[in-house]
Amino acid sequence: MGLCTYKISIKGTVQGVGFRPFIYQVATKFSLYGTVLNGTEGVEIVVNASKDKLEEFIEVIKSKLPPLASIDTLKVEQIEPKNFSDFQIIQTDSCGEKTVNIPPDISICKACEKELFDPKNRRYAYPFITCTHCGVRYSIIYDLPYDRGNTSMKFFKMCKACEEEYTNPMDRRYHAQPIGCWECGASLELRVDRCGVVDGAVELIKQGKILAIKGVGGYHLVCDATNEEAVLKLRERKQRPTKPFAVMVKDIEMAREWGEINADEEKLLTSIERPIVIVGKRTSRPTGIAPNLSRIGLFLPYTPLHLLLLTKLNRPLVATSANISDEPLATNRESIEKLSNVYDFLLDHNREIVNGCDDSVVMVVKGQTIMLRRARGYAPVKVELPFKLDKKVLAMGANQKSTIAIGFDNQVILSPHIGDLDSIGSVEYYEKNIESLKRIYGFEPEVVAYDRHPNYESSKYAKRYYGNSTLREVQHHYAHILGVMAEKQIRGKVFGVAFDGTGYGDDGNLWGGEFMVCDYEGYERVAHLNYFKLLGGVKAIKEPKRVALSLLFECYGDEVFKLNTPTTKAFTQQELKTQHIMWQKGLNAPLSSSVGRLFDAVASLTGVCQIMSFEGESGMRLEELYSNSVEGLYPFGYENGVVDVLPMIKEIIKEHNQQVAISKFFHTLVAMVEAVYEPYDLPLVLSGGVFQNRVLLELLFERFSNAVIGNIIPPNDGGIALGQVVGA
Ligand code: ZN
Ligand code: ZN
Ligand code: FE
């Protein structure tokens, strides 16, 4: 019966996910002889089989994949006959190109959860229990291939019992790199006299203390979410007056006590990625967690440690990323100790976090998942392009919510959310991320893509380390649109709407209300919001009243002094006069066409918010005041490619009902898109930070059923890097 030797090469997410033991088990079942190994290009199987058996074998591989595995390509070729007397898993080969995907960190699986709470199991209550189908990956990797020696588990020597599981291909823990137990693995330490570490931590949380707890990709600051006093203490110490906190709940039932959760949201909450999901808040809940907001970020425990804590505590926990404002997430003892004035106790462990990774944040709008922060569980992620890149590209991202990306062949690897590059510490963290991505993938770029903005730290980095011949500038909003086109594999022209905070425009002004016809070759800016001056430059970004005042000057000149509006009341007469001079002379008043700033202006004019305490606050507050029972919209101009908002501003200040003014403002934005898009018969692509606004997005989805937005990449600047790869 003609046995031949075949080589099967499989690429995709096939390492660190129990793929080889799975192949071993299938081969054994089919009584096939041969080998399987992990190469840097994926998994390679060599088997002796008849043609029929081979086909069946491949069919089973494809249809019965382990839960975390996925196959991108599977190639079969017949090779020189070889002799085998059994089926074996052979040692890793580490040459060749590194094209394997790094698996993200995912939540504890059901089988491990069962053992965690089983007093007879040897890992009972062990806070780091894991197997091939669950647990940490990305956060502990130094290098590929994904083997224990290339992770921060290399410092822990396996005990006999663990080693037996690790080397038994029939075991659930075969080659589960992070395995360990009470005997041999990572351990917890509560920096206080002990009484059983987890119990001790639970007791302290119940007493209203604030703890720093080391998780997967960094530390959290936590406290009892039902203890208003503790929550306020955390706010005060972290100097974070109003920005909402995320809440970790024990399970989906507890989530329902806190939030209004629909089926899509439940699916996300309980998914293996376990992101923070923004849901409607039950109104009876305390206000200190998300002041003035009707939405709340909830997530479920994702590590055995969190599961133990929450189960014993049986209360929700405020769990917010541990960092000092503008600094990156704390990932080691040294960085967390800088926050020792914020927490009372530290629950630490001795497994090193190699790659920091924040919690992911998502929301669901009209059934679509909108990524607000792509990190733990989802990242790093691979995106396939509709075409092949002829050079290796490194994309530096933007300055806020930065991410980086590397592109080769027809794929792009996107880093997790790195954060804002507003401090020396965060820039260092950013550089470390670039280095580790390059190291892990053995990647040297031939082209480096970066944002036009000369003052972005990411642009400075590009220019510091790479020569002119490799550098390519990509305009910010073009990159926003390109990112979505690449994710959705759209070929040909699209009509892109980039509503954004601010990004550097080709004319040196700060763009952000852009309508552009784009393809992969380039773009044409067909329309934009009228320019207005940002009084005080960067100050205007935090102070909506400055943007609003500028628009009032545009409308009324020095008549503004006689107006009686929430905006003008937020200044003294003297300040108004000074600002008027600055406005007239254009001193420290860059021009902007940003819709993000227009939101700020409306928040100020309606008296909702004059100075913001966190980025995006004005948009969130306007969302709250929108009412779908209000009809109608405001007039606006549209001529020669300029959308004029001044007629709308003049009407808004006449309206004394906040809800009416704000609802009509939203409707006007939709009408603006409608007016500009109308003559084009092209797909409509939405991107830019303003589309984090749920109300605006819902209205646009209702109006344009064909509107496309990213689901993998965030609409904010976290999506820029993907667009830059394609743009370069
Ligand atoms: Zn498991
Ligand atoms: Zn052990
Ligand atoms: Fe942007």
187 alpha carbon, closest ligand: 2
307 alpha carbon, closest ligand: 1
Give yes or no for a cis peptide into 145 (omega within 30° of 0): yes
Q: Same domain, yes or no, for 46 and 153?
A: no
Contact 349, 189 (CB under 8 A): yes
Q: Same domain, yes or no, for 340 and 214?
A: yes
CA of 15 to the centre of ligand 1 (A): 16
Taking the C-alpha atoms of 125, 130, 131 and 133 in order, what is their torsion angle to the nearest 10 degrees?
120
CA of 21 to the centre of ligand 2 (A): 20
Q: Same domain, yes or no, for 181 and 192?
A: no
Contact 662, 628 (CB under 8 A): no
CA of 716 to the centre of ligand 3 (A): 6
pLDDT of residue 524: 98
Q: Is residue 62 part of a domain?
A: yes
Q: Is residue 504 part of a domain?
A: no
Handedness of CA 513, 519, 522, 523 (dihedral sign): negative
CA of 397 to the centre of ligand 3 (A): 10
pTM score > 0.85 for this model?
A: yes
Q: Is residue 49 part of a domain?
A: yes
Contact 453, 399 (CB under 8 A): yes
Query: Using CB atoms within 10 A of its CB, is residue 210 exposed (0-12), middle (13-18) or buried (19+)?
Result: buried
**Pairwise CA distance, residues 138 & 433, whole Å:** 12
Q: Same domain, yes or no, for 131 and 202?
A: no
135 alpha carbon, closest ligand: 1
Domain range for residue 411? Answer: 380-488+711-727
pLDDT of residue 497: 98
Q: Which two tokens stand for residue 640?
A: 């020669």
Q: Same domain, yes or no, for 420 and 542?
A: no
Q: Is residue 496 part of a domain?
A: no
Last residue of a domain, one of 133, 164, 186: 186
Q: Which two tokens stand for residue 222?
A: 């936590």
Domain CATH code at residue 109: 3.90.870.30
H helix or E strand, kind and range, residue 276: strand 276-281
Domain CATH code at residue 472: 3.30.420.360
Q: Same domain, yes or no, for 307 and 201?
A: yes
CA of 180 to the centre of ligand 2 (A): 5
Q: Same domain, yes or no, for 705 and 715?
A: no
pLDDT of residue 99: 57
- Mean pLDDT per 10-residue interval, the chain, length 728 residues: 88 83 91 88 91 94 88 92 90 56 89 96 96 92 87 96 93 92 91 66 96 96 96 94 95 96 97 97 83 94 96 96 89 94 94 95 97 94 92 96 94 93 92 90 93 95 92 97 97 97 95 97 97 95 97 96 96 96 95 98 97 94 96 97 98 96 98 98 97 97 96 96 95
CA of 116 to the centre of ligand 2 (A): 14
pLDDT of residue 183: 95
CA of 166 to the centre of ligand 2 (A): 10
Q: In what order do the strands lie in the sheet with 471-474?
A: 381-384, 411-414, 405-408, 393-395, 447-451, 471-474
CA of 501 to the centre of ligand 3 (A): 6
CA of 9 to the centre of ligand 1 (A): 27
36, 57, 111, 407, 666 from 25: Cα distances, Å: 11, 11, 19, 35, 58
717 alpha carbon, closest ligand: 3
Determine the residue type at 609: C
**Pairwise CA distance, residues 429 & 408, whole Å:** 24
DSSP-derived secondary structure for 615-662: TTHHHHHHHHH--TT-------EEETTEEE-HHHHHHHTT---HHHHH
CA of 187 to the centre of ligand 2 (A): 12
Q: Is residue 563 part of a domain?
A: yes
Domain CATH code at residue 556: 3.30.420.40
Q: Which two tokens stand for residue 109?
A: 């699986």
Q: Directed axis angle between helix 658-677 and helix 694-703, to 10°? A: 50
Pairing state between β 4-13 and 33-39: unpaired
CA of 612 to the centre of ligand 2 (A): 51
Q: Is residue 237 part of a domain?
A: yes
176 alpha carbon, closest ligand: 1
Q: Same domain, yes or no, for 215 and 347?
A: yes
CA of 184 to the centre of ligand 2 (A): 4
Contact 190, 347 (CB under 8 A): yes
Rg (CA), the chain: 27
pLDDT of residue 441: 85
Determine the residue type at 624: E
Q: Is residue 520 part of a domain?
A: no
CA of 440 to the centre of ligand 2 (A): 28
CA of 129 to the centre of ligand 2 (A): 10
47, 72, 132, 199, 285 from 23: Cα distances, Å: 11, 16, 14, 41, 50
Residue 402's nearest CA partner among 445, 425, 433, 376 is 433
Residues found in the chain: 728
Q: Write out the E strands in 87-132.
A: 87-90
Contact 643, 513 (CB under 8 A): yes
Q: How many CB atoms lie within 10 A of CB 50?
A: 13
CA of 24 to the centre of ligand 1 (A): 19
**Pairwise CA distance, residues 121 & 123, whole Å:** 5
CA of 122 to the centre of ligand 2 (A): 9
CA of 104 to the centre of ligand 1 (A): 14
126 alpha carbon, closest ligand: 2
Q: Same domain, yes or no, for 417 and 553?
A: no
**Pairwise CA distance, residues 139 & 334, whole Å:** 18
Q: Which two tokens stand for residue 575?
A: 């300040």
- Give the per-residue SS3 of 27-71: HHHCCCEEEEEEECCEEEEEEEECHHHHHHHHHHHHHCCCCCCEE
211 strand-pairing partners: 222, 345
136 alpha carbon, closest ligand: 1
Q: Same domain, yes or no, for 384 and 333?
A: no
Q: Which two tokens stand for residue 347?
A: 């629950």
CA of 135 to the centre of ligand 1 (A): 7
CA of 369 to the centre of ligand 3 (A): 19
Ion ligand 3 contact residues with beta carbon within 5 A = 500, 503, 717
Contact 650, 559 (CB under 8 A): no
Last residue of a domain, one of 136, 167, 186: 186
**Pairwise CA distance, residues 112 & 124, whole Å:** 10
pLDDT of residue 1: 55
Q: Directed axis angle between helix 694-703 and helix 617-625, to 10°? A: 60
504 alpha carbon, closest ligand: 3
**Pairwise CA distance, residues 576 & 46, whole Å:** 78
pLDDT of residue 170: 87
CA of 502 to the centre of ligand 3 (A): 6
Contact 153, 119 (CB under 8 A): no
pLDDT of residue 192: 53
DSSP-derived secondary structure for 238-255: HT-SSSPPEEE-SSHHHH
Q: Is residue 723 part of a domain?
A: yes
Sole residue written with tokens 């203390």 = 209
Number of structural domains, the chain? 5
CA of 719 to the centre of ligand 3 (A): 8
Q: Same domain, yes or no, for 547 and 577?
A: yes
Query: Using CB atoms within 10 A of its CB, is residue 81 exposed (0-12), middle (13-18) or buried (19+)?
Result: exposed
Domain CATH code at residue 74: 3.30.70.100
CA of 642 to the centre of ligand 3 (A): 20
Query: Using CB atoms within 10 A of its CB, is residue 240 exposed (0-12), middle (13-18) or buried (19+)?
Result: middle
156 alpha carbon, closest ligand: 2
CA of 43 to the centre of ligand 2 (A): 27
Last residue of a domain, one of 186, 215, 236: 186
Q: Same domain, yes or no, for 300 and 249?
A: yes
Domain CATH code at residue 260: 3.90.870.10
